[in-house]
Structure 1
Amino acid sequence: MIYRPYEYQRTAMQWILDNPRCGLFLDMGLGKTVSTLTALQELIDECEISRTLVVAPKKVAETTWTTEAAKWNHLQGMRVAKVMGTEKQRKLALAEKADIYVIGRDNFVWLVGLYGGQLPFDVLVIDELTSFKNSKSQRFKAMRIVTPTVSRVIGLTGTPAPNGLIDLWGQMYCIDMGQRLGKSVSKYRESHFETHSWNNIVVRCDVKKGHEDIIRNSIADICLSMQAKDYLQLPDLMMHTVPVELSPATMSAYNKFEREKVLEFKQEHEGEPTNILANSAAGLMNKLAQFANGAVYDDDRNIHEIHSEKVDKLAEIVEAANGSSVLVFYQFKHDIPRITKKLKDYRVEVYEGEKQLLEWNAGKIDVLLAHPASTAYGLNMQQGGHYIVWFGTGWDLELFQQANARLHRQGQQHPVTVYKLIGANTVDERASASLENKKVKQQSLLDSLNYLIRKHTNGKG
């Protein structure tokens, strides 16, 4: 296929050429991958670089970079090696003669160890830069070691600060080693944010008045930001909240289950440090969300089906799609067999990798079940359909936005309709509201936990 870049893509390519260490904060669907590959090809042609390492989410590493390189005529000579599979397979891939080496981010720490912290690459591309926002994570610490060893770093993301500007520090450090936002996250936080603590643990950071512009201006010389709405005529994205009413008996059972779990939680986790408490709260909310979805795991991971209201509502939406394919995001593995059983008259597939992606885009799948974490980044799925159903939304705003952008992106020919199945009067409502209000995940979980404790202790807890 002949590549005819849009003007904004030319701008993105030139940005990479002009800035050895740069960030491309391009909205989902603006073609970050092909723009980056084209710029890399020009650098190869000019003999400025020879080997590039791309670190990407696993599913993106498996498909997106090789697919894009093979798709365009001007990239046909580019050799892409996938550093995937067993350790032996990864080492064999690294030994191949190639221009681009693509590795999943989960193996990045291994790679850094393999090379003793000195990467033998000219360029490091960090696809989904937000994966490195947590300065305490092992992958960030590994990135911190190797960033100085390469001459060019390109950070790619569509959502650099989904949970607030506090997320920018780790990402920018991966690019410029602290030149713009400082050498430590604590100093960055102290300089630009008002912090709110609980038990001496910071749970929320609000940017100081006037400092949003200061932060953005400090990184503007190397970070190019573009939003799809400014450059693309994308079809509409229509969001529908679909209340799922539980029967009186099921609602009574849910309320009993919620009360028991909340009081049990309060007794077990009284006085727990906030950072640990947030993780524990996520476990509690997951249990309640399982019930809202229609089944729960017991302590031995056995599945107990409770109701079918959500799968029944999903079946109505699939039928109303009238032959159009439907992408369904599930939360829990026990959602899969119940959905598959209910939709037995349709071709239902679970997304696992490239095979399902190709068949989906070819229109061969009626209903594709996918966990949002497995499809959130980089995958082009817009050819396969324009209906999305969230069987349960979860609390992660970034995953929610990125997953919806698998269909709502450049090349989509139809308005995209998103249905959120929300169990009425259940924890689903609080999770959905958290996403709509763009709240930080940890704070939303803690707020919801406090709400439930007050609710079930008559305001005394």
Structure 2
Amino acid sequence: MITPTASSGISLMPHQQQIHDFLVDHPFAGAWLGVGAGKTLTTLSVLQTVRPMGHILVVAPVAIARSTWIDEIEKWGFPMRTKSLIVDQNDRKLSKAKRLERFREVATDPPTMYFINQELLTQPPQETKLLTPVPEAVPAPTVSPEATAILGLLRARGPLGADELIDAYRALVPGDANGRPVAKTKVRSWIQELLKSALVTWEAYFCRSCSGGGCAQCRFGLVDQLPVHNINGQDTIVWPFQTVIIDESQGFKSHDSRRFLALASVRPAMTRLIELTGTPAPGGLHDLWSQVYLLDQGRALGQNVTAFRDRWFTPKMVPGTTTPAKWIPTANAEAEIHQAISHLVMSAQNTSLQLPALSIQDVNVTLPPDLLRAYKDFKRDLVLDIVQTYTSDDGNLTQSVESIIAVNQAVLTSKLMQFASGTLYTADPDDPATKGRYEVIHDKKIEMAEYLVRNSGGEPVLIAYHFKSDKEQLLTRLRKAGVDAQAFDGSRDMVRRWNTKQIPVLLLHPAAAGHGLNLQHGGSTMIWYTLPFSLEHYLQTNGRLFRTGQTKPVIIHRLIAKGTQDERMPSVLADKQEVQDDLIEAVSGDFTAEQALLAALEEEIREDLSDFWRSGRL
């Protein structure tokens, strides 16, 4: 909890002032600012201007909700009472019990700015684990008289939770001479005795209150835990946050996601809603409906997604079915949609924004001819034979040949990505003991990564990886070479240590830490070990270093394994970038801009995989 006493003077850049004025004048609005353009600072200045009543809720990806906002409030001295619903004062993740306690404290707290990650807005119903008696065995295991009594109680009453069973037993059994009940620790030991004897097991059951339908007893998100009052015969959630800020609003692009439906249900209780993003539609104009609905409750783009689709899209069906695989925008859809939302969102295009020089360099990685042949054979035949070496029970080295089979296009593309990066997962889906198992196929990419690290002039390097196996191999290789490489753990302390140049190499996964982190002070060199399919992940991760406040030219190396699908990824991302830029320009205040030239490429990975599949098989 942080409560600065005074706000230092802040001078906004022209594009930030333009956004500030728009958000002040529009209680329900979106601001589309590029990565590193100062969305957080601009929004904090808006709050200082309008001084909203009551609580404020910031909903964001976990890294942003955990550190970015609080860091900016501290940096600029904004006089706001803040409280995290994710971590404690020492940046340690809250336990479920402590988090639920903080949810309840919202009702009695003075006006506060709260922070929560998107995943904790709402959660699916959780099953309850109950102690359940098993059918009597013959002969029955021998246990203590006390354990036998507890077993009899459980069989009489049916499955119970541990605390319920303990309380029930203590209520039935006489206490000691002073009237004190049996110690809970003793009862727990007798329950453990029953579990070890296999007379009792833990079984999962639906919630008793709702039978799995979902209620406060089995759903532990913020919206799920808020009180519900009956108003005019209708159950209504008591929503205590008059002002809501959604940072990285593209996280709400799915119209049927739990998080969107949860916020949509409480949207009428809000008096101000601000949506922030640098990538509003990373997968095309189809991603916009739910984000815009939260702003105006359906007035601009339709009351539901069906109306939106009927007006501006035509379905592309899965062959041989009536199921839409993709929604294709009609001829004038993009221009019309952009115009329809122009009063709700603004993107300030500003040439005076001072950003460092940016150099993106594709670094070729050459695979040995035999490996490249194996890659191409795998792509053609969907089967790859690899030799595994292991130590047998008698201590001798033994080799065996294992076949890796790609059962469909998605699996094949994932396997080819792994192959190009140097490792290949070999887990047997029918054998949980093999989960996470992989084989090292080659070390050519990792050699190049080490070379680039060693030739960075002693400056820290950020490495973006895709697979866990890549992370493990990078950490092992670099540490063996004497480089202190560390994987990002999400903590504010690690952000601080990186920005004070205490971490020579930081490994970061785009999906987990590609948004919102201010890492520009710690280094200016990044390596993409494997390029992502997602434009959002690509731009946001680049923006950790390429942003305002960076004092050095930024160099981004993209490792490209020659002869593999790595070679196509730069053009795929460039095509998506063109569509994204058209959308942002259309709502920048300059509505004479040319109509968007291309229909949006779907960002959803299955569409990308289909494209790769078709091009590779023809």
SS in 2 for 1:435: helix
Q: Give the 5 Å matches for 1:66-85.
A: 66-73=70-77, 75=78, 77-84=79-86, 85=94
Tell me the residue number matched to 1:334: 469
**1:330 offset after TM fit, Å?**
0.4
**1:15 offset after TM fit, Å?**
2.0
**1:99 offset after TM fit, Å?**
1.9
Q: Give the 5 Å matches for 1:263-274.
A: 268=407
Tell me the residue number matched to 2:222: 111
Tell me the matched-pair count: 437
Q: Give the 5 Å matches for 1:227-242.
A: 227=349, 230-242=351-363
**1:38 offset after TM fit, Å?**
2.0
Tell me: CA distance 1:223–1:338, structure 2 relative to 1, closer, same or farther (3 Å). same
What CA distance in whole angstroms lies between the structure 1 residues aligned with 2:423 and 2:287? Answer: 35
Tell me: CA distance 1:156–1:265, structure 2 relative to 1, closer, same or farther (3 Å). farther
What CA distance in whole angstroms lies between the structure 2 residues aligned with 1:58 and 1:414? Answer: 28
Is 1:60 the counterpart of 2:64? The answer is yes
**1:268 offset after TM fit, Å?**
4.9
Tell me the residue number matched to 2:206: none
What CA distance in whole angstroms lies between the structure 1 residues aligned with 2:363 and 2:315? Answer: 36
SS in 2 for 1:212: helix
Which residue, out of 258, 277, 284, partners 1:138? 258
Tell me the residue number matched to 2:284: 164
SS in 1 for 2:239: coil
What CA distance in whole angstroms lies between the structure 1 residues aligned with 2:110 and 2:98? Answer: 15
SS in 1 for 2:550: coil
One-letter amino acid of the counterpart of residue 19, structure 2: A
Tell me the residue number matched to 1:43: 50
One-letter amino acid of the counterpart of residue 138, structure 1: R
Tell me: CA distance 1:247–1:380, structure 2 relative to 1, closer, same or farther (3 Å). same
Per-residue CA deviation, residues 279-333 of structure 1 (Å, 9 max, x unaligned), is xx44332221111111112122212111100000111111221111111000111
What CA distance in whole angstroms lies between the structure 1 residues aligned with 2:101 and 2:328? Answer: 47
Tell me the residue number matched to 1:441: 603
Tell me the residue number matched to 1:32: 39
What CA distance in whole angstroms lies between the structure 2 residues aligned with 1:369 and 1:417? Answer: 16
**1:265 offset after TM fit, Å?**
11
Asked if the contact 2:508/2:514 (under 8 Å) is kept, the reply is no
Which residue, out of 393, 398, 401, partners 2:536? 398
**Structure 1 stretch displaced more, 215-224 or 335-344:** 335-344
**Structure 1 stretch displaced more, 299-308 or 94-103:** 94-103
Which residue, out of 112, 125, 149, partners 1:99? 112
The structure whose Rg is larger is 2
**Structure 1 stretch displaced more, 336-345 or 216-225:** 336-345
Asked if the contact 1:349/1:356 (under 8 Å) is kept, the reply is no
Tell me: CA distance 1:191–1:27, structure 2 relative to 1, closer, same or farther (3 Å). same
Tell me the residue number matched to 1:125: 245
Asked if the contact 2:284/2:603 (under 8 Å) is kept, the reply is no
Aligned CA RMSD, in angstroms, stands at 2.2
Tell me the residue number matched to 1:186: 306
Tell me the residue number matched to 1:274: none
Is 1:450 the counterpart of 2:605? The answer is no
**1:250 offset after TM fit, Å?**
1.8
Which sections of structure 2, spanning at least 5 residues, go unmatched? Answer: 1-7, 87-93, 123-220, 229-236, 385-402, 428-433, 577-600
Which sections of structure 1, spanning at least 5 residues, go unmatched? Answer: 270-280
Tell me: CA distance 1:107–1:313, structure 2 relative to 1, closer, same or farther (3 Å). same
Asked if the contact 1:28/1:402 (under 8 Å) is kept, the reply is yes
One-letter amino acid of the counterpart of residue 524, structure 2: H
Which residue, out of 351, 354, 359, partners 2:488? 351
What CA distance in whole angstroms lies between the structure 2 residues aligned with 1:374 and 1:435? Answer: 20
One-letter amino acid of the counterpart of residue 474, structure 2: I
**1:368 offset after TM fit, Å?**
0.7
One-letter amino acid of the counterpart of residue 533, structure 2: W
Tell me the residue number matched to 2:589: none
Tell me the residue number matched to 2:23: 16
SS in 1 for 2:316: strand
Q: What TM-score do you get using the length of structure 1 for normalisation?
A: 0.89
What CA distance in whole angstroms lies between the structure 1 residues aligned with 2:536 and 2:496? Answer: 25
SS in 2 for 1:291: helix
**Identity of aligned pairs, percent?**
34
What CA distance in whole angstroms lies between the structure 2 residues aligned with 1:449 and 1:332? Answer: 21
What CA distance in whole angstroms lies between the structure 1 residues aligned with 2:383 and 2:567? Answer: 17
One-letter amino acid of the counterpart of residue 610, structure 2: L
What CA distance in whole angstroms lies between the structure 2 residues aligned with 1:336 and 1:266? Answer: 24
What CA distance in whole angstroms lies between the structure 2 residues aligned with 1:176 and 1:286? Answer: 39
Q: Give the 5 Å matches for 1:182-331.
A: 182-199=302-319, 200-227=322-349, 230-261=351-382, 268=407, 281-299=409-427, 300=434, 301-331=436-466
**Structure 1 stretch displaced more, 62-71 or 142-151:** 142-151
Asked if the contact 2:461/2:527 (under 8 Å) is kept, the reply is yes
What CA distance in whole angstroms lies between the structure 2 residues aligned with 1:231 and 1:169? Answer: 32
What CA distance in whole angstroms lies between the structure 2 residues aligned with 1:166 and 1:111? Answer: 28
Q: What TM-score do you get using the length of structure 2 for normalisation?
A: 0.67
Per-residue CA deviation, residues 45-103 of structure 1 (Å, 9 max, x unaligned), is xxx41211111101111101111111113x0x211110012222223334154520100
One-letter amino acid of the counterpart of residue 445, structure 1: L
Structure richer in helix, relative to its length: 1
Tell me: CA distance 1:437–1:380, structure 2 relative to 1, closer, same or farther (3 Å). same
